[in-house]
Structure 1
Amino acid sequence: MKNHSAILNRMFMVFGLVLLVPFTIGLQLVRVNFVEGDELRQLWNEQAIDYIPIPAQRGNIYDEDGSLLVTNNVVYKAAIDPKINGLTSDQISQVCDSLAKYTGQSARFYRQKINRAPNRSRYVVLNKRINTEAYQALQQLDIRGVILEEEYKRKYNFETLAAHTLGFVNHDLTGMSGLEKEYNEKLSGEDGVQQVRRDRNGRIYAYLGAPRKQPRQGYSLHTTIDSHIQAIVEEELKAGIEKTRSTSGSAIVMDPQTGAIKAMANYPTFNPNNPASLDKTNRRNFTISDMIEPGSTFKLVTAIAAVEQNKVKLNEQFETPEDGKTLIHGQWMRDHDPLGTLSFPEVIQKSSNIATAEIAMRLSKDAFYQYARNLGFGTPTNIDLPNEKSGRLSKPYEWSQVSLPWMSIGYELQVTPIQLAQAYAAFANGGTMMRPYLVKQITNGQGNIVSRTENVPVREIAKKSTIEKLYPIFKDVVSDSGTANYAQVPGLSIVGKTGTAQKYIDGQYRNEYRSSFVGVFPAENPKYVTLIVLDDPDTYPPYGGVTAGPIFRETANRIAGLDDDIEKQILQQEQDNDVWAYTPNLKGLTKEDAQALLTNQNLSYEFDGTGDWVVDQSPDSGNELSPKDNITLSLSNSISQNEVKELSEGYSTIPDVGGMSMRKASVLLNSRGFEIKMIGSGTIYTQFPRPGDTMKHGRTVTVRGKAKPLESLTTNGVSE
C-alpha cells in the first residue's frame, strides 16, 4: 500500500512538471507579446538595421583654360555566389560566355575560377574590371547569384602630362603625392550614409523609406597650369636630356608678375594611371624636393648685394690671372677659361668665378647672408605642394674662411629649383618676390567658387634702382659675348644666367655636374621665367650655356609662338632690323648676266662706262641694301683672265630672294635650276647659301619666312 502511494505521488509530480513547461512558455509568450512586446520589437529592429556609406566622388582637376586633367571613371567588378539556391550549371555557363564575349578571356577561364574556389566560398571574383557593355549584358541575364559592383577609379586624361605636379592616389582614392595629396581633404568630399536591413546571414537589403544622408561631392581644383606650355616643356626637356645624355632633368615656367606656375616638369616621369610603372624615385618632384648647389646662377645674389652696398662700380675693371686660377685661403678657384681683364658687366656676362669671389669678399658675412635670405634661399617658398625642401643656407657663424667666396659662386649651400625660379622672378618684376602657387580657385559640385587664391607678395629683394642697374647686364648674358649665346632666340629679348656646378659625392667634388639656365622673356615687361636644370650631362663641355641653354631656346621659341603679344613683338623687331637685300657679287660677270641677275632681284642699278664686262661695283658685295639704294656697275671692254667669272656647265649664281614672297622666290630659284626649302611663310627674311654664290643645279636653297616664330639660327661657340 505504501509502495502504491509513493508511485502515485511520483506520477503526480512528473505530471505537474510536464504541465508547468507549457504554462511557463505561455507566460513568456504573454510577456513577450503583450507586457514587453513593444520594447523587444524595438530592440530587434535596432539589431536588424545597419548603415552603409555612400561614397563621395572625388573632385576634378582642371588646367588654366578649363581642360579636364583629372577626373573619375566608374569601374565594374563581376563576381558570383556559386552556392546560392537555384543556381544551375546552365546559368553559370551563360555568365561565363557573356564575360568571354566582352573581355577577351575564354569561358573556360571563368569556369575554372569557379571550380577552383574553396568549397564554402560564397563570393568568387570573376573579373575586377569589366566594361559597360559587359556590365549591361550580365544585368540583362538577371541570374540570381551574379554580383555586380561599381567603384570609381582616378583617371588622368593626358597620362604623363604634369604627372609630378598632379600626383596620384592609392587604391582607396587617397592622395599620395602632388596636388592630390596637398588638397586631399578638399578633393575627397564627405561620404553619405544609407540605412539598410541585414538578415541573419549578414545579407544587406534596402527598404522603402530608409533614411539617407547624401554625400557631399569633392571640390574641384582649377590650376594655373597651361597644358600647351606644359606639353612643350616636357617634350623639349626630354629631347634635351636624351641629346645631352643627362641622368635626369627638371624645368619650371613661372609668371613673374603673379607667381603662378605655368608648367612644372621632371624627366624621367611616370604615368599616374599606373604609378607603379617606374621606380618610386622617378615619382619624386625634383623641382621642389631636390636640394642642389646652384653654381653661377647664384651670382645674382652677389651682384645685387655688391651693387646695393656700393662695393663695386659698374665701370670697374678686374684683372684675372693669365692661367685662369687663383689661390683663396689655401684653395684653388678657377674660371672656365682664362678671361683676362674684365669690367663688372663682363664679370657677369662671362661668368668669372675669380672676379665674383673678389667682389663678394668686400661684403660682410652678415650682409651677404641677408641678401641670400632676401632672395628666398634657406626658406621654403610655401608653394601649394607637399614635401617641399627649404634648402640649406648655414648661418654666418658656421662659415669657414672660404665659405663667402665659394658661396658667391654657388657652392657650400643648397637650393631647390623652385627657389631659383622664384628669385629670378623677383628680379624680373622689379624686385617683388611672389609666392609661387598652382591652384587659383576651388569650386564645389555646382561650379560655385569656394575659395580663390590671391597673389601673395612676400618681400622686396632689393631697391628698384639696384635692379634697374643690373637688369641690362644680365640681358647681355644672352648675347654673342655672353655665356648663354646658345639660349638666344632671334627677335626675342631675354634676360638670364647660366650655371654649372660640380657634384659633391661621398665627401668630395667629382667630375659630374649639374648644369642650368634660367631665362626671363621678353626682357621688357616679362611674362615668363623659365628654369632648366640637368643632372650630369654627358657632354663636353658640360656648361649650362651649352647644355641647358639650347633646351631653353627651343622651349622659349615655342612658347612665344603661343603668345600673340610676344609674336607681334618678334615680328616688329624683325621688321625694324630687317635687311631688304644684300649686294650680290657681280665682278667678272658679263653686262648681260649682271643685268639679268639684278632685274630678277628687283635691284636698281646703273652702268658706269662702256664695255661688255663688269670690272667693279659700288657698293661691294654683301653690303646691306634698302629699296632706295642703287648699285653702280663699272664696265670695261677687257678684263684679266683671273677676273672672268665664267660659270661651269650645270652651275648658276644664287639670286637674292630677300623680301620676296615664297611663291615668287620659288619661281625664281626653280628657273635657275635650284630646289627650294621653305621654313615659315610670308616675306623671306634670310636665305642660305648666300646670294651671289655659285652652286650646282639641283641643290637646295633654304629660305625662311617671318609669318611664324623664328627658329634658332647657327650660333657661335660658347664657354662658361
Structure 2
Amino acid sequence: MSIKRDIVLRVRIAFILTFLVAGAVVFRIAKIQFIEGEEWRSLGETLGMQVMNVKATRGNIYADDGSLLATSLPFYRLAIDPYLPTNGLYKNNIDSLCYLLSRYYGDLTPTQYKRKIDRARKDGRRYLTLNRQEIGYQDKKHMENWPLFREGRLKGGVLFEKVEKRFLPFSHLGIRTIGSVNANDRGTVGLEYSFNKQLAGVNGKGLYQKMAGGGWKPIYDGTEKRPVDGYDIQTTINVDLQDVTESALLDELQKHNADYGVAIVMEVKTGEIKAISNLSRNTDGDYYERYNYAVGNQGSREPGSTFKLASMIALLEEVDIKLTDTINTGDGSLEFFDKTMRDHKPGGFGTLTVQEVFEKSSNIGVAKLISQHFGNEPEKFINYLKRMNLHQPLDFQMVGEGKPYIKDPSDSTWSGVSLPWMSHGYELKMTPLQMLTLYNAVANNGKMVKPMIVKGVMKADRMVEEFETEVINDRIASKETLRKVKMMMEGVVERGTAQNINHSHYKIAGKTGTAKKVKNGRYVREYYTSFAGYFPAEAPRYSCIVVIDNPKGYQIYGSDVSAPVFKEIADKIYSLELDMHEVGTQERTYVTGVFPHIKAGKRDELTMICNELGISNHAKTEAEWVKTDVINDAVYWKGNTVKYEVIPDVRGMTLRDAIYVLENLGLKVKVNGRGRVATQSLAPGGRIAKGSTIKLQMS
C-alpha cells in the first residue's frame, strides 16, 4: 500500500513541475510578445540593416545627329509596406487597389491579392513584393494615381524599386562598336568599355533593411548619399551611313560565304568615322558583330596590294621618275633569291609604264622598281614608311588597337626577299583602320589626321570635354607626289583592276588588294581581299576601306569581292547627300543668250522647239529621251535611255517630264523648288526598289 502511495506522490510532483515549467514558458512568450515586443523588434531591425550601393544611372551614347545609340531605361518592381497606411485609409482603398492589381498583372484574383496584403498587414510586415514583373516608366506613372498608391511612399506605403537595363534603339546596328555592359553595369567591349569611366558615374550609398523572403527595403533616414549619374558621349557615327555600310557588307559576305568582313567610312577633312562594321560568321552560318577586326590585333594582317600606295609614295619621293617611264615585268614570274614572285595575269604584262604598274597591280613591277632604287639601302625605304607614320599605332579612342608591324634590316627575320615582298604588302602587318588613315591622308592633300569616333563628353546639353581633329602629319609627301598617286588611283578605277566599279556620275579613286593567308607558317590558297580609296575623287569627302576575309568560290580578288561593296556604299551615300551632286552638274556647259535653256527632255518636243526658233539641232541617237550637247552654234541630242527597274537620270528635265518618267517606273516623287531638276536623291543607274521615293531639287 505504501508503495502505491509513493508512486502516486511522485506522479503528482512530476505533473506539478511540468505544469509550472509550461506556465513559465507561456508567461515568457506573453511577456516577449506584448511587453517587450517593440524592444525586440527594434533590435531585430537594427541587426538586419546594411549600407548598400545605390546605382548611378549610366550615361547615353549618341550618334552624330543626336540620335540615341545606347541608353539606360528605368524599369520598376512594385512593392508595398502594408503596415504603414492608417486603418481608415487602408479600408477605404484596398478593394479598389486589389482590383486594379489583378486587372494589370492577371496572375491573381482581386480576392487573392486582398488576402495576401491583409495577411502581411496583420503580421506586421513592413515589406511585401506585390509582383516581380518589371514595369516601364509610363506604367509606373499610371500606377502612382491608383488608390492608396496616390498617397505616396510615406502614407500609402508604395515602393517602386528601380532596375535599369541597357537598351539599343537601333537593335544590332553597330552593336560591337557601341559595346555592351555586364550585370554590374560595367562596359565589357566597344565604346561602353573604352569610355566606361565617363559613362558609369559614381554610385551612391543607402541604408537597407533585410525583409522576410530575402528582399531589401530602403530606409530613408537622411543619411543616404545620392549617386552621381554618368556623362553622355556623342560619337561621330551617322546612323544612315552605318545602315548603308552594314547592309552592303552583309550582302557580299553572304554571296561569297566569307569568314569575316570589315567596312569603315571616314570623313576626309576631320577623320570622323561615320560608319564601322565588323561582321563574322558563326557556326550556324549567320553573320554578327563578334570582334572589332577594323581596330584590334586579330584584324592586323598582311594587307597585300593596297600597300603599294605607300611604296609608290616612297619611290616618287626618292626618285625623279615619270609616270610614263617604263619597266619590263616579263612573263609574269620573277626569281628573287630562292623565291618566285608572280603577277596575277597568266603570261604576265610585259612592258608597263610606272602608272600602269600601279593601275594593273603588277607585283613584279613594284618589286623591281623598289629593289632598283632602294635595294642597296633598304633603310631608306623603311624611313619613308616611318615618315608616313605607318610604324606607329594611331592612339585611337577605343581600347585594344592593334600595333602595326613594319620590319627593318635590323630585324632577325630580315632577308634578301624582305624588301621586294614588303613593297607589295607582305612581311608586314597593319589593321584596316591604319591602312585607311594613309589613303585618307592622300585624299586630304597629304595631311594625315587621327581617326576619331567620339566627338565629346556631355552632361545634359553642356559639353564637358570636346575632342578636336588631331593632325598626325602635316604632309606625308610633296604636292607633286600626291598629284601623281592621285592620278594612278583614279586610273585603277578607270582603266585598271577596279574597272568594274567605274561610275559615270562621280569619280572613285582607290586600290585593290589581294593577299594570300598564312597557316602553320606557310602561304595557302586562302585570300584576304580589300579595296581602299575615296570619293568623289574630284573633291574627296569620304574615304573608305572594305576588307573581306577568305571568300569562297571562283571570285577571290579584291576587285571582285571588296570593290563592289565600296561602290555600293559610295553610291548610296552619293544618293543621300544631294550637295555631292553639284560636282557632276557643273560638268555640262550651256551658252546663255544664244540658245534657250535646254538640258534634257523628250527628243521630238525639243526638236520642235529648236526648229520653231531656228536653232540648228542634230540627233546622235534615236532615243525617246535625250540630253543636250552644245557644239559651236548647234545643239546635239544624246541618248538618255530609260530602262525598266533602273533609276534614270532626270537632271535637266522639266518637272512634267521628270514626273512622267519616274512615276511610269513605279517611283514616288517628292519635289522641292521650281524650275528644272538640278539634283535627284537616288543615283542614276541603281536598281529601283519597290515603293522607293525619289526627291527632286529644282532650280
> Does the Cα contact within 8 Å between 2:585 and 2:678 map onto a contact in 1?
no
In structure 1, the residue matched to 2:163 is: 151
SS of 1:573's partner is: coil
1:566 aligns with 2:580: yes
Find the aligned partners of 1:104 and 1:515 in 2 and give their Cα distance. 57
SS of 2:161's partner is: strand
> Does the Cα contact within 8 Å between 1:95 and 1:138 map onto a contact in 2?
no
Find the aligned partners of 2:207 and 2:129 in 1 and give their Cα distance. 26
In structure 2, the residue matched to 1:450 is: 464
Shift, 1:299, TM fit: 0.2
% identical aligned pairs: 32
In structure 1, the residue matched to 2:447 is: 432
Distance 1:710 1:601, change over 3 A: farther
In structure 2, the residue matched to 1:224 is: 236
Shift, 1:508, TM fit: 2.0
Gaps of 5+ in 2: 1-42, 85-92, 117-126, 150-155, 592-596, 637-649, 672-676, 688-699
Matched letter for residue 551 of structure 1: V
SS of 1:395's partner is: coil
TM-score (norm: length of structure 2): 0.71
1:294 aligns with 2:303: yes
User: In structure 1, which of residues 319, 324, 336 is the aligned counterpart of residue 328 of structure 2?
Assistant: 319
In structure 2, the residue matched to 1:511 is: 525
> Does the Cα contact within 8 Å between 2:267 and 2:543 map onto a contact in 1?
yes
User: In structure 2, which of residues 352, 369, 373 is the aligned counterpart of residue 342 of structure 1?
Assistant: 352
Number of residue pairs matched by the alignment: 579
Distance 1:619 1:149, change over 3 A: closer
1:388 aligns with 2:388: no
Matched letter for residue 383 of structure 1: F
Distance 1:709 1:662, change over 3 A: same
Shift, 1:148, TM fit: 5.2
1:556 aligns with 2:570: yes
Find the aligned partners of 1:598 and 1:181 in 2 and give their Cα distance. 65
SS of 2:545's partner is: strand
> Does the Cα contact within 8 Å between 2:54 and 2:203 map onto a contact in 1?
yes
In structure 1, the residue matched to 2:227 is: 215
> Does the Cα contact within 8 Å between 1:102 and 1:133 map onto a contact in 2?
no
> Does the Cα contact within 8 Å between 1:382 and 1:436 map onto a contact in 2?
no
> Does the Cα contact within 8 Å between 2:175 and 2:289 map onto a contact in 1?
no
> Does the Cα contact within 8 Å between 1:514 and 1:536 map onto a contact in 2?
yes
User: In structure 1, which of residues 182, 188, 192 is the aligned counterpart of residue 204 of structure 2?
Assistant: 192
1:331 aligns with 2:339: yes
Find the aligned partners of 1:285 and 1:552 in 2 and give their Cα distance. 19
Which has more radius of gyration? Answer: 1
Distance 1:622 1:198, change over 3 A: closer
In structure 1, the residue matched to 2:77 is: 77
In structure 2, the residue matched to 1:129 is: 134
SS of 2:357's partner is: helix
Distance 1:199 1:311, change over 3 A: same
Shift, 1:660, TM fit: 5.7
Find the aligned partners of 2:107 and 2:520 in 1 and give their Cα distance. 53
Q: 1:388-414, CA deviations, whole angstroms, 9 ceiling, x for partnerless residues?
A: 111322232231111111111111222
In structure 2, the residue matched to 1:59 is: 59
In structure 2, the residue matched to 1:24 is: none
Shift, 1:533, TM fit: 0.8
SS of 1:515's partner is: strand
> Does the Cα contact within 8 Å between 1:295 and 1:499 map onto a contact in 2?
yes
Matched letter for residue 284 of structure 1: Y
Q: 1:413-468, CA deviations, whole angstroms, 9 ceiling, x for partnerless residues?
A: 221011011111112112222111111111124x3221111211112422333212
Distance 1:340 1:605, change over 3 A: farther
TM-score (norm: length of structure 1): 0.69
User: In structure 2, which of residues 282, 288, 291 is the aligned counterpart of residue 284 of structure 1?
Assistant: 291
SS of 1:570's partner is: helix
SS of 1:379's partner is: coil
Matched letter for residue 308 of structure 1: E
SS of 1:286's partner is: coil
User: In structure 2, which of residues 477, 486, 504 is the aligned counterpart of residue 490 of structure 1?
Assistant: 504
Shift, 1:665, TM fit: 8.6
Find the aligned partners of 1:401 and 1:471 in 2 and give their Cα distance. 31
> Does the Cα contact within 8 Å between 1:230 and 1:265 map onto a contact in 2?
yes
In structure 1, the residue matched to 2:378 is: 365
Gaps of 5+ in 1: 1-42, 85-90, 115-121, 271-276, 585-596, 607-616, 632-656, 684-703, 715-720
Matched letter for residue 480 of structure 2: S
In structure 1, the residue matched to 2:419 is: 404
SS of 2:529's partner is: strand
Higher mean C-alpha displacement, 213-222 vs 414-423? 213-222
> Does the Cα contact within 8 Å between 1:516 and 1:544 map onto a contact in 2?
yes
In structure 2, the residue matched to 1:38 is: none
Q: 1:185-212, CA deviations, whole angstroms, 9 ceiling, x for partnerless residues?
A: 111111223456789999756355x234
User: In structure 1, which of residues 701, 707, 715 is the aligned counterpart of residue 680 of structure 2?
Assistant: 707
> Does the Cα contact within 8 Å between 1:570 and 1:709 map onto a contact in 2?
no
User: In structure 2, which of residues 147, 157, 181 is the aligned counterpart of residue 169 of structure 1?
Assistant: 181
Find the aligned partners of 2:160 and 2:670 in 1 and give their Cα distance. 62
In structure 2, the residue matched to 1:242 is: 254
Shift, 1:574, TM fit: 5.9
Distance 1:134 1:618, change over 3 A: closer
Shift, 1:543, TM fit: 1.6
SS of 2:428's partner is: coil
In structure 2, the residue matched to 1:355 is: 365
Matched letter for residue 219 of structure 1: Y
> Does the Cα contact within 8 Å between 2:72 and 2:166 map onto a contact in 1?
yes
In structure 1, the residue matched to 2:152 is: none
> Does the Cα contact within 8 Å between 1:58 and 1:189 map onto a contact in 2?
yes
Distance 1:331 1:103, change over 3 A: farther
> Does the Cα contact within 8 Å between 1:681 and 1:708 map onto a contact in 2?
no
Find the aligned partners of 1:622 and 1:371 in 2 and give their Cα distance. 56
Distance 1:448 1:295, change over 3 A: same
Q: 1:320-356, CA deviations, whole angstroms, 9 ceiling, x for partnerless residues?
A: 223x222222222121213222111111111111101
Find the aligned partners of 1:351 and 1:576 in 2 and give their Cα distance. 40
Higher mean C-alpha displacement, 518-527 vs 166-175? 518-527
In structure 2, the residue matched to 1:462 is: 477
Q: 1:21-72, CA deviations, whole angstroms, 9 ceiling, x for partnerless residues?
A: xxxxxxxxxxxxxxxxxxxxxx999989853433211111111111122111
> Does the Cα contact within 8 Å between 2:52 and 2:205 map onto a contact in 1?
yes
Q: 1:247-273, CA deviations, whole angstroms, 9 ceiling, x for partnerless residues?
A: 321111112222211111122499xxx
Distance 1:125 1:538, change over 3 A: farther
> Does the Cα contact within 8 Å between 1:291 and 1:414 map onto a contact in 2?
yes
Shift, 1:357, TM fit: 0.7
Find the aligned partners of 2:288 and 2:240 in 1 and give their Cα distance. 26
Distance 1:291 1:147, change over 3 A: same
Distance 1:63 1:618, change over 3 A: closer
> Does the Cα contact within 8 Å between 2:74 and 2:137 map onto a contact in 1?
no
Shift, 1:376, TM fit: 3.6
